Structure 1
Amino acid sequence: MTKFSEETQLWVISHDQDLIEGLKQQQGCNHIGLDKDMGETFAHDQDPFDRPPWRWPTR
């Protein structure tokens, strides 16, 4: 993955903590941890006021 990411953007979604920790050690890694609270998924350690505004679209 590290070699491949030198030539293209690579998104990795994983629950494997060993894999996540290994990738976080790589230069250029932009780790975004996700959490879930009452069915809502959000970026870990992101202040609620820093979240992008989002509303359900009208029908």
Structure 2
Amino acid sequence: MPEVKTIFKEVLPKQQLSMEDVSTMVLCKPKLLPLKSVTLEKLEKMQIEAQEAVRQQELAMKEQ
């Protein structure tokens, strides 16, 4: 079989057929994060309560 060479001619559209959706950046409000987490605040509260309980026990021991 003889080789058949086909020459394709480049055809460009004269106008744009479709538009691509270009995603634009959407800026939203900054989210403020607490400096201390809820767990850390609970732990600090428990520690303060424990220190107060120790102080009260020490005062009770001094009074006796």
TM-score, L = length of structure 1: 0.21
- Structure number with the bigger relative contact order (C-alpha 8 A, sep ≥ 6) is 1
TM-score, L = length of structure 2: 0.19
Decide which structure has the larger Cα Rg and report it.
2
Which one has a larger percent strand, Structure 1 or Structure 2? 1
